Each structure stands twice: as C-alpha cells, then as structure tokens.
Amino acid sequence: MRRRYQKGTVKPVKGNWIAQWRENGQKRKRTLGRVSKMTKSEAGAKLAEIVRPINARGQDPTPDTAFGMFVTTVYVLSPEVETINHYVQ
C-alpha cells in the first residue's frame, strides 16, 4: 500500500491566510491569521503543525488496495496463470 504525504497550501484570501489540505478524501481549510500579522512562512509552519498528525498515521486500506494485493500475491504468482499465458500465445 502506498504511503501518502501532503504539505497543503497557504493562500492569502481577503486579508487572511487560508490553509487548505485533504483529510480522509475530503477538502479541509482553516483560517490561520491575518496577512498583516504573519508572514507566509509562519503561516506555512502553522499548516505543517496541522497536517503532521495526518501524515504520521498510516493510510487505511481501501478495496482497491486489497484487490492490488490479491493480484500481486495470488494471481500473478499462481502457476496456472503461466500455463494459460503459454496457451494463449
């Protein structure tokens, strides 16, 4: 299963720094503070604190992942597949 990592984005919107990221497939956003009170790098540091626990945990298995594991461990390694491919050629 592929491990996912995200940084998120920080944008100035109407005088506020807005952080955007994804969590469990859903878009999330939060106001970090005023543009006049903090720099973009400070806002990015706040966003890094928000996404740190998300990046630290493992990704939950999905039905696609289970199918991929089946294909690589059972179907491809099966000796019957080699004989079928031999007859098809």
Task: Report pLDDT digits (tens) over 54-75.
Answer: 888 765 555 555 666 666 666 5
- The answer to whether the predicted template modeling score (pTM) of the entire model surpasses 0.75 is no
Interatomic CA distance for residues 86 and 6, integer angstroms? 44
Task: Write down the domain spans for the chain.
Answer: 1-58, 59-89
Residues facing residue 18 across a β-bridge: 11, 31
Structure tokens at 24: 């469990």
Mean pLDDT within 48-57: 87
Structure tokens at 9: 């984005």
Q: What percentage of the chain carries pLDDT values higher than 70?
A: 60
